[in-house]
Structure 1
Amino acid sequence: MDRSAYTSMNAQEGEHWWFVARRAIIDGLIRDHVALPDDARILEAGCGTGGNLALLAQHGSVDALEYDDEARAIAAARGVATVEAGALPEKVGFGDRRYDLIALLDVLEHVDQDEASLAALRGRLAAGGRLLVTVPAVPWLWSNHDVLHHHKRRYTHDGLAGVAAAAGLRVEASGYFNSLLFPLAVAQRMAHQLLRREAPLDARPAPWLNRSLQQVFAAERHMLGRINFPIGLSLYAILSA
Structure 2
Amino acid sequence: MEPAEYDLMDAAEERMWWYRALHARVTDALRRRPGPDGAVLDAGCGTGGLLRRLSALGRPLAGLDYHPAAAARAAAKSGVVAAAGDANRLPFADGAFAALTSCDVLCHRAVDPATALTEFRRVLVPGGTLVLNLPAYQWLRSAHDVRVHNDRRFTARQGRALLAAAGFAAVEARYWNALLLPLMVLQRKILRSDEAAKSDVAPFPPWLDATLHATTAIERAAGRAGLRYPAGGSILLVATRP
TM-score for both structures, normalised by structure 1? 0.91
Q: Which runs of 5+ in 1 are unaligned?
A: none
Q: Structure 2 counterpart of 1:94, which letter?
A: F
- The 5-angstrom pairing of residues 140-151 of structure 1 reads 140-151=139-150
**3-state SS, counterpart of residue 78 of structure 1:** helix
Contact between 2:94 and 2:122, CA under 8 Å: does it hold in 1? no
Q: Shift of residue 171 of structure 1?
A: 4.0
Aligned partner of 1:45 in structure 2 is: 43
Of the three residues 49, 54, 57, the one matched with 1:56 is 54
Return the alpha-carbon distance in structure 2 between the equivalents of residues 195 and 112 of structure 1. Answer: 25
Aligned partner of 1:95 in structure 2 is: 93
Q: Shift of residue 97 of structure 1?
A: 4.8
- Relative to structure 1, the CA distance from residue 83 to residue 214 in structure 2 (aligned partners, 3 Å threshold; closer, same or farther) is same
Q: Which runs of 5+ in 2 are unaligned?
A: none
Contact between 2:47 and 2:71, CA under 8 Å: does it hold in 1? yes
Query: Which structure 1 residue ranges, 4+ long, deviate > 6 Å from structure 2?
Result: none
- Relative to structure 1, the CA distance from residue 197 to residue 176 in structure 2 (aligned partners, 3 Å threshold; closer, same or farther) is same
Return the alpha-carbon distance in structure 1 between the equivalents of residues 194 and 171 of structure 2. Answer: 42
Judge which range, 218-227 or 117-126, deviates more.
Answer: 218-227
Return the alpha-carbon distance in structure 1 between the equivalents of residues 193 and 68 of structure 2. Answer: 37
**3-state SS, counterpart of residue 26 of structure 2:** helix
- The 5-angstrom pairing of residues 109-188 of structure 1 reads 109-110=107-108, 111-188=110-187
Q: Shift of residue 195 of structure 1?
A: 7.7
- Relative to structure 1, the CA distance from residue 118 to residue 80 in structure 2 (aligned partners, 3 Å threshold; closer, same or farther) is same
Contact between 1:43 and 1:101, CA under 8 Å: does it hold in 2? yes
Return the alpha-carbon distance in structure 1 between the equivalents of residues 172 and 39 of structure 2. Answer: 21
Aligned partner of 1:27 in structure 2 is: 27
Q: Shift of residue 3 of structure 1?
A: 1.4
Return the alpha-carbon distance in structure 1 between the equivalents of residues 18 and 10 of structure 2. Answer: 13
Q: Shift of residue 51 of structure 1?
A: 0.7
Contact between 1:171 and 1:237, CA under 8 Å: does it hold in 2? no
Q: Structure 2 counterpart of 1:83, which letter?
A: A
Return the alpha-carbon distance in structure 2 between the equivalents of residues 195 and 102 of structure 1. Answer: 35
**3-state SS, counterpart of residue 179 of structure 2:** coil
Contact between 2:48 and 2:78, CA under 8 Å: does it hold in 1? no
Q: Structure 1 counterpart of 2:207, which letter?
A: W
* Cα deviation digits, residues 104-123 of structure 1 (max 9, x gap): 11111114310110011101
Return the alpha-carbon distance in structure 2 between the equivalents of residues 160 and 210 of structure 1. Answer: 29
TM-score for both structures, normalised by structure 2? 0.91
Q: Shift of residue 133 of structure 1?
A: 0.5
Return the alpha-carbon distance in structure 2 between the equivalents of residues 96 and 231 of structure 1. Answer: 36
RMSD across aligned C-alpha pairs, in angstroms?
A: 1.9
Return the alpha-carbon distance in structure 2 between the equivalents of residues 238 and 219 of structure 1. Answer: 21
Judge which range, 81-90 or 206-215, deviates more.
Answer: 81-90
Aligned partner of 1:17 in structure 2 is: 17
**3-state SS, counterpart of residue 204 of structure 1:** coil
Q: Shift of residue 12 of structure 1?
A: 0.6
| Number of corresponding residues | 238
Return the alpha-carbon distance in structure 1 between the equivalents of residues 238 and 49 of structure 2. Answer: 21
**3-state SS, counterpart of residue 72 of structure 1:** helix
